[in-house]
Amino acid sequence: MGKVWDEVLHGAATSGTTANGSPATCAHAVEIYSRVEDLGDTVADFLAAGFEQGEPALVLARRESFELFATQLAGRGWDVALQQEEGLFVFADTATIRPAVFATNRPFADAFEQAVGGLIDRAAAHASGRSVRVFGELVDVLYRDSEPEAAIAVEDAWNRLARARRFSLLCGYELDVFDPELQAGMLREICRVHSHVLPAHDADGLARAVRLALEEELGRAKAADVYYVVGNRFRDERLPIAQRVLMWVAANRPDAASRILGNARAHYRAQPAVPSA
Average pLDDT over residues 199-207: 89
CATH of the domain at 120: 3.40.50.300
The predicted pLDDT at position 84 comes to 95
Range 20-27, long-range pairs (CB < 8 A, 24+ positions): 20/159, 24/159, 24/162, 24/195, 25/162, 25/163, 26/131, 26/162, 26/165, 26/166, 26/167, 26/168, 26/169, 27/168, 27/169, 27/195, 27/196
44 and 131 in one domain?
yes
222 and 165 in one domain?
no
The predicted pLDDT at position 4 comes to 52
Average pLDDT over residues 112-126: 94
The predicted pLDDT at position 228 comes to 93
116 and 27 in one domain?
yes
Average pLDDT over residues 125-132: 86
How many domains does one find in the chain? 2
50 and 36 in one domain?
yes
pLDDT in tens, 223-263: 999 999 998 877 777 888 999 999 999 999 999 999 999 99
Tallying the residues shown for the chain, one arrives at 277
Compute the Cα dihedral for 230, 9, 18, 179 and give only its sign: positive
Q: Is residue 137 part of a domain?
A: yes
Statement: residue 22 has pLDDT above 90: no
The predicted pLDDT at position 103 comes to 80
Domain span including residue 54 = 2-201
Confidence of residue 271 (pLDDT cuts 50, 70, 90): confident
211 and 162 in one domain?
no
193 and 210 in one domain?
no
Q: Among the three residues 145, 177, 201, which one is the final residue of a domain in this structure?
A: 201
pLDDT in tens, 29-60: 999 998 899 899 999 999 999 999 999 999 99
The predicted pLDDT at position 24 comes to 42
175 and 150 in one domain?
yes
pLDDT in tens, 166-198: 999 999 999 999 999 999 899 989 999 998 888
pTM of the model: 0.86
Average pLDDT, the chain: 88
pLDDT in tens, 129-169: 889 999 999 999 999 999 999 999 999 999 999 998 999 99
Q: Among the three residues 201, 230, 248, which one is the final residue of a domain in this structure?
A: 201
